[in-house]
Amino acid sequence: MNDLEVRVRAICQAHENNRTRLMDIVNAVQNEFGYVPGCALDAIAKECGTQRVAVQSLVSFYAFHSELPKGRHVIRLCNDIVDQFQDVQAVADAMVDEAGVPFGQTTPDNLLHLEWTPCIGMSDQAPAAIVDDVIFPRLTPAKAKALVKALKAGKSCAELAGRTGDGNNSHRLVKSAVHNNLRLRGDVIFADYHPGSGLAKALAMSPAEVVRDVKTSRLRGRGGAGFPTGMKWDFARQTDNRNKYVICNADEGEPGTFKDRVILTECPELLFDGMTIAGYATGSAHGILYLRAEYAYLKAFIEDLLAKRHKKGLLGKDVAGKTGFNFDIRIQMGAGAYICGEETALISSCEGRRGDPKNRPPFPAQKGYLECPTIVNNVETFCCAARILQEGPGWFAQKGSKGSPGTKLLSVSGDCEKPGVYEVPFGIQLQDLLEMVGADHPAAVQIGGPSGSLVGKAEFNRTICYDDLATGGSVMIFNQKRDVLKIAMYFLDFFIEESCGYCTPCRVGNVLIRERLGRFLNGTAESADLDYLTRLGTTVKFMSRCGMGQTSPNPVLTTLKNFPDAYRSRVKERKDKFQPTFDIGAALVDSQALAGRKSVHF
Amino acid sequence: MSTTIKMTIDGKEIQAHPDQTILQAADAAGVYIPRLCNMKELIPHGSCRVCTVRCNGRPQAACIQPVADGMVVESNTPELTEHRRAIIDMLFVEGNHYCMFCEKSGNCELQAMAYRLGIATPRYPYQFPHRQVDATHPDVLIDRNRCILCGRCVSASRDVDGKSVFEFVGRNSHKRVAVNAESGLGATALTGADRAAGVCPVGSIIRKRTAYAQPIGQRKYDHQPIGSDIEAAGQK
């Protein structure tokens, strides 16, 4: 047995050779060696009593895992559309220039690897990159060059992190250059809150009463889908399984969303109170916080807070003195997969599997994590629940709009003066929001991230709430210089990359949509392609298996609907009605090379 | 099972057992709902989406969705047929399918489904992907060019053979079926007699030395469209 196998075995044994903790095991192997080599697959499989191919299945799924060595420092530069419009390309060029290798490659000395990554939750301080779990926000070409140079000189990322940001970003366990950019505090999430107060009120009631209060408040899930939280809790409460689970979805991956980052940095106690209340209400003793890999810089800070709650008796046995109520929270790190924000995919990932969504029914509240009743809620939802228990359901229900009570955290980015997090009452008009954030000649706004919709000026009078412009929080503002089709193409590329590949329409359909959308961008589209895109998009929406697939054609379908001229103006009908649909010169390149001569005709 | 429930499929009233899926209930009633990844003896995978129906107005995969009393199911409608054709077209262009000389031709469920749904040629551009062939096993061959990622081999090997020889690796359009050995299928525990070697709906996993055994005219789908056995059982 070689050294690597010895280390891998030790890692497995530290996790009790538990097959369901495969994510933690593989993350640890990846962190230690920089990749998960073939012999590690075999060693993990042997230790955990599973198959090599099952381990490979997981490793090959997540963007932060690698079967090949990638170099000591992996520089992941965010290529989100907001970063692109803030000239991330110039930053990338500076990195390539200094590193001497293009993106997707490792330097010959195995020191640096450059790669692109989708939204890392820093759209308010773009362009941004992650290197070895350290965030480098607000990059310029000069800063990027200096960063690569210093890494080449042997400096560590921690040394290079730069001046720490505001609030807890300067905490000794965070020490990050990230800024909160908390622009507007509302009176639900970012109000003054004494840790434990909502929990104390809840524990003075019966679990059924807690669920009743959450129902009365009419709280709906803040992740975007808007399912009534009280109803979800009630389903789980009414099951008689001994083991139940409360999972917090902190896999904030929807491009343009970063509000959970600020909650986790500034008021994590509110979140833990909410999770603990959910545990009490549903009869669960186990909490899991699923933290996206991009937020690994917050892990030590959160772990420390959890340990402190243990000492204070707010976690563990007989929580807050409530005899018989035991509750604990563990952190599950993700590894770079947007689909894991989908609740059943997130459960698969927690179970130590690739992040495939599960078939429904059964629903997680009946059969979720390890086949046990499980509730999965968004970070913001748990925070709302804690405040509801503290202040009462009536207090909450009268805020916001009729069908959408409470406040909503919006992550605002793009072409505006004051990007950042805004806590606004539901029902706010888009126009008012745009004024508040200092939008610069806004021409289009992406509400709800790529899976939401891109709306134009004519719809700026619409309101942000579940019944009109529903959103998990992402608001990306684009001025009149931005190309709507490029935005749609970027989002489509994002979905194509992040598709789990399980079902046909999402896996294949979006690739076909991209091909046709590309014709509009390269000038070979004909008018019939408009109908082609609409039909194909409708099939993908209708036939896909999970929420991601069902919304994945939205970038194209909503721009077709709201910005038809962006498409029509690019259709060039020729007089002879024959429209070249591909570049014949490019298509003949291979054949010409084989034949050793050029085509006579083309 | 004593209790039965009543539901309708395309207006036809049928009886079903409460623990059945829509697909099982429809099969029992002689109503064929097109499907590809589903196979009677295996746990439903729900990945091809061909069996999607409107269930009380909402799209649901019939192979996954349990029946309920009073459920109204629409399956044979122009809208659903159009979506199913689109899915079949996608599967054809996603891989490299050479029906004219494929060993599975005439016995292939993908090809038969295309014929049943009236597809002469796919409407989408071929993707011509590069896919791996694995002929390292003495008795079984994998040609991933024809794989439609239905998961039957994965399930059969795990749940029937108890071996877990196959598993999916990668994601998005790079997802593929891998085997439980670095050097290929020949180094796995698979035998030619395994159920997993005989469940592939297309010509992706085939037993060696069995090709072209049936002459044209005697192959499974040469005279009757796929699903006609289920429909015929319902006529009785």
Q: Closest partner residue to A509 among B90, B125, B181, by Cβ?
A: B90
Band of pLDDT at residue A506, cut at 50, 70 and 90 = very high
Q: Residue A359 and residue B64: Cβ atoms within 8 Å?
A: yes
Q: CA A215, CA A500: separation in Å to the nearest integer?
A: 34
Residues of B in contact with A57 (CB under 8 A): 167-169, 178
Whether the CB-CB separation of B60 and A520 falls below 8 Å is answered with: no
Q: CA B234, CA A110: separation in Å to the nearest integer?
A: 66
Which pLDDT value is given to residue A1?
67
* Locus of tokens 């359901």: A393
Q: Is the pLDDT of residue B2 over 60?
A: no
Query: Which chain B residue is nearest to residue A501, measuring alpha carbons?
Result: B172
pLDDT per position as a tens digit, B137-146:
999 999 999 9
Q: Is the pLDDT of residue A257 over 80?
A: yes
At A334, which helix (H) or strand (E)?
none
Which pLDDT value is given to residue B228?
96
**Strand locations in A153-306 (E):** 182-184, 245-250, 286-291
Q: CA A40, CA A42: separation in Å to the nearest integer?
A: 5
Q: Which residues pair with A327 in a beta bridge?
A: A316
Band of pLDDT at residue B117, cut at 50, 70 and 90 = very high
Q: Is the pLDDT of residue A335 over 90?
A: yes
Beta-carbon contacts of residue B61 (< 8 Å; ≥ 6 apart): A359, A545, B44, B46, B49, B51, B52
* Token duo for residue B54: 């409107």
* Token duo for residue A152: 């080449």
DSSP collapsed to 3 states, A236-272: HHHCCCCCCEEEEEECCCCCCCCHHHHHHHHCHHHHH
Q: Residue B175 and residue A501: Cβ atoms within 8 Å?
A: yes
Q: CA A429, CA A423: separation in Å to the nearest integer?
A: 14
Whether the CB-CB separation of A490 and A255 falls below 8 Å is answered with: no
Percent pLDDT > 90 in chain A is: 92
The edge-to-edge listing of strands for the beta sheet with B12-16 is: B12-16, B5-9, B72-74, B52-55, B58-61
pLDDT per position as a tens digit, A187-231:
999 999 999 999 999 999 999 999 999 999 999 999 988 999 999
Q: Residue B175 and residue A360: Cβ atoms within 8 Å?
A: no
Q: Angle B28-B34-B38 (CA atoms, 0-180°, nearest 5)?
A: 75
Residues of A in contact with B150 (CB under 8 A): none
Q: Is the pLDDT of residue A509 over 60?
A: yes
* Token duo for residue A463: 């309101």
Which pLDDT value is given to residue A105?
95
Which pLDDT value is given to residue A447?
96
Q: Angle A402-A199-A205 (CA atoms, 0-180°, nearest 5)?
A: 80
CATH topology of domain B85-207: Alpha-Beta Plaits (3.30.70)
Q: Is the pLDDT of residue A173 over 70?
A: yes
Whether the CB-CB separation of A472 and A378 falls below 8 Å is answered with: yes
Domain ranges of chain B: 5-76, 85-207
Q: Is the pLDDT of residue A581 over 80?
A: no
Q: Residue A508 and residue B182: Cβ atoms within 8 Å?
A: no
CA distance B124 to chain A (A): 7
CA distance A186 to chain B (A): 38
Q: Judge if B5-76 and B85-207 fold alike in CATH terms.
A: no
Q: Residue A53 and residue B167: Cβ atoms within 8 Å?
A: yes
Query: Which chain B residue is nearest to residue A493, measuring alpha carbons?
Result: B172
Q: If we measure between CA atoms, which residue out of A294, A293, A292, A291 comes closest to residue A305?
A: A291
Q: CA B133, CA B145: separation in Å to the nearest integer?
A: 8
B78 contacts chain A (CB < 8 A):
no
Which pLDDT value is given to residue A576?
78
DSSP assignment of B28-89, as one string? Answer: HTT-----SS--TTS-----S-TTEEEETTEEEETTTPBP-TT-EEE-SSHHHHHHHHHHHH
Q: Residue B87 and residue A539: Cβ atoms within 8 Å?
A: yes
ipTM over 0.85: yes
CA distance A465 to chain B (A): 24
Query: Which chain A residue is nearest to residue B94, measuring alpha carbons?
Result: A508
Q: Residue B87 and residue A359: Cβ atoms within 8 Å?
A: no
Residues of A in contact with B49 (CB under 8 A): 503-505, 543-545
Query: Which chain B residue is nearest to residue A58, measuring alpha carbons?
Result: B169
Which pLDDT value is given to residue A478?
97
Whether the CB-CB separation of A128 and A134 falls below 8 Å is answered with: no
Query: Which chain A residue is nearest to residue B79, measuring alpha carbons?
Result: A539
Q: Residue A337 and residue B171: Cβ atoms within 8 Å?
A: yes
Band of pLDDT at residue B236, cut at 50, 70 and 90 = low
Whether the CB-CB separation of B31 and B12 falls below 8 Å is answered with: yes
User: What's chain B's average pLDDT?
Assistant: 96
Q: CA A205, CA A193: separation in Å to the nearest integer?
A: 20
pLDDT per position as a tens digit, B7-64:
999 999 999 999 999 999 999 999 999 999 999 999 999 999 999 999 999 999 999 9
CA distance B39 to chain A (A): 16
Band of pLDDT at residue A572, cut at 50, 70 and 90 = confident
* Token duo for residue A465: 């709430």
Query: Which chain B residue is nearest to residue A542, measuring alpha carbons?
Result: B59
Which pLDDT value is given to residue A493?
97
CA distance B169 to chain A (A): 4
Examine residue A419 and say whether the peptide bond preceding it is cis (omega within 30 degrees of 0).
no
End-to-end CA distance of chain B: 22
User: What's chain A's average pLDDT?
Assistant: 95
B54 contacts chain A (CB < 8 A):
no
Examine residue B34 and say whether the peptide bond preceding it is cis (omega within 30 degrees of 0).
no
Whether the CB-CB separation of A336 and A62 falls below 8 Å is answered with: yes
Query: For the purposes of burial, counting CB atoms within 10 Å of the CB of A328, is it exposed (0-12), middle (13-18) or buried (19 or more)?
Result: middle
Dihedral Cα B61, B64, B69, B75, nearest 10 deg: 30
Percent pLDDT > 70 in chain A is: 99
Q: Residue A503 and residue B48: Cβ atoms within 8 Å?
A: yes
Q: Is the pLDDT of residue A256 over 70?
A: yes
Residues of B in contact with A337 (CB under 8 A): 171
CATH value of B5-76 in 3.50.50.60, 2.60.40.650, 3.10.20.740, 3.40.50.410: 3.10.20.740
Residues of A in contact with B168 (CB under 8 A): 57, 354, 501
Q: CA A191, CA A198: separation in Å to the nearest integer?
A: 13
CA distance B120 to chain A (A): 18
CA distance B50 to chain A (A): 8
Give residue A565's Cα distance to chain centre. Answer: 31
Q: Closest partner residue to A543 among B87, B166, B169, by Cβ?
A: B87
Q: CA A504, CA B52: separation in Å to the nearest integer?
A: 12
Q: Residue B93 and residue A61: Cβ atoms within 8 Å?
A: no
Report how far apart, in Å, the C-alpha atoms of A321 and of each of A204, A278, B164 are. Answer: 11, 17, 48
CA distance A495 to chain B (A): 9
User: Can you list the alpha helix ranges (DSSP code H) found in A21-156?
Assistant: 22-33, 38-48, 52-59, 81-85, 88-99, 141-152
Residues of A in contact with B51 (CB under 8 A): none
DSSP letter (8 states) at residue A363:
P
Which pLDDT value is given to residue A583?
76
Q: Closest partner residue to A505 among B87, B164, B173, by Cβ?
A: B87
Phi/psi for A220 (5° steps) reads -120, 150
Q: Residue B182 and residue A52: Cβ atoms within 8 Å?
A: yes
Q: Please, which residues 132-191 of chain B have a Cβ atom closer than 8 Å to chain A?
A: 148-149, 164-175, 178-182
Mean pLDDT value across residues B192-218: 96
Q: Closest partner residue to B170 among A60, A360, A543, by Cβ?
A: A60
Beta-carbon contacts of residue A277 (< 8 Å; ≥ 6 apart): A198, A199, A202, A210, A382, A385, A386, A389
CA distance A579 to chain B (A): 16
Q: Closest partner residue to B180 among A53, A361, A502, by Cβ?
A: A53
* Locus of tokens 């909410």: A274
pLDDT per position as a tens digit, A42-85:
999 999 999 999 999 999 999 999 999 999 999 999 999 999 99
Which pLDDT value is given to residue B180?
98
Mean pLDDT value across residues A268-291: 98
Number of A/B CB contacts below 8 angstroms equals: 123
Q: Residue A505 and residue B167: Cβ atoms within 8 Å?
A: no
